[in-house]
Amino acid sequence: MNDARPSTTIRMEALVPHLAEAAAGWAARLNLPQSGEADFALQLGEAGLQLAELGPQAPGPVRVDFVEGAVAHRRVFGGGSGQMIAKAVGVQPGVRPRVLDATAGLGRDGFVLASLGCAVTLIERQPLIAALLEDGLARARGDREVGPIVAQMQLLTGNAIELMDAWEGEPPQVIYLDPMFPHRDKSALVKKEMRLFRPFVGDDLDAPALLAAALALASHRVVVKRPRKAPIIAGATPGYALEGKSSRYDIYPKKKLQA
DSSP string, the chain: -PPPPTT--EEEEESSGGGHHHHHHHHHHHT--SSS--SEEEEEETTEEEEEE-STTPPPPB---SSSSHHHHHHHHS-GGGSHHHHHHT-BTTB---EEESS-TTSHHHHHHHHTT--EEEEE-SHHHHHHHHHHHHHHTTSTTTHHHHTTEEEEES-HHHHHHT--SSPPSEEEE----------HHHHHHHHHHTTT----TTHHHHHHHHHHH-SSEEEEEEETTSPPPSSSPPSEEEE-SSEEEEEEESS----
Mean pLDDT of 168-191: 76
Per-residue pLDDT tens over the stretch 38-59:
999 999 999 999 999 998 888 8
45, part of any domain: no
Mean pLDDT of the chain: 89
pLDDT of residue 4: 45
Lowest mean pLDDT among 60-69, 75-84, 115-124, 176-185: 176-185
The answer to whether 178 is annotated as binding is yes
pLDDT surpassing 50 at residue 144? yes
pLDDT recorded at residue 196: 76
Q: What is the pLDDT of residues 205-249, one digit of tens each?
A: 689 999 999 999 999 999 999 989 999 999 999 999 999 998 999
Q: Is residue 52 part of a domain?
A: no
Q: Give the domain extent around 124.
A: 70-253
221 in a domain, yes or no?
A: yes
Does 37 show up as a binding residue in the annotation?
no
- For residue 247, being part of any structural domain is answered with yes
180, pLDDT greater than 90: no
21 is in an annotated binding site: no
| Domain assignment present for 37 | no
Which of 149, 256, 160, 152 is closest to 217 using CA atoms? Answer: 160
CA–CA separation, 215 and 176 (whole Å): 10
How many residues comprise the chain?
259
> Residue 250 — pLDDT band, cuts 50, 70, 90?
very high
- Which domain CATH number covers 108? 3.40.50.150
- Assess if residue 139 is contained within a domain: yes
Instruction: Specify if 87 maps to a domain.
Output: yes
Residue 39 lies in a domain: no
Q: Please state, in angstroms and rounded to a whole number, the distance separating the CA atoms of residues 196 and 64.
A: 14
Q: At residue 61, does pLDDT exceed 80? A: yes
- Mean pLDDT value of segment 126-130: 94
Decide: 204 and 125 in contact? Cβ < 8 Å. no
Lowest mean pLDDT, pick from 137-151, 188-202, 245-259: 188-202
Is 109 part of any known ligand binding site? yes
The pLDDT value recorded for residue 127 is 94
Q: Model-level pTM?
A: 0.90
**Is 98 among the annotated ligand-binding positions?**
no
For residue 116, name the pLDDT band (cuts at 50, 70, 90): very high
Euclidean distance between CA atoms 65 and 70, whole angstroms: 9
> How many domains does one find in the chain?
1
For the cut 70, the answer to whether the pLDDT of residue 181 exceeds it is: no
* pLDDT over threshold 80, residue 28: yes
Put residue 80 in one of left, alpha, beta given phi > 0 → left and psi -120 to 50 → alpha. left
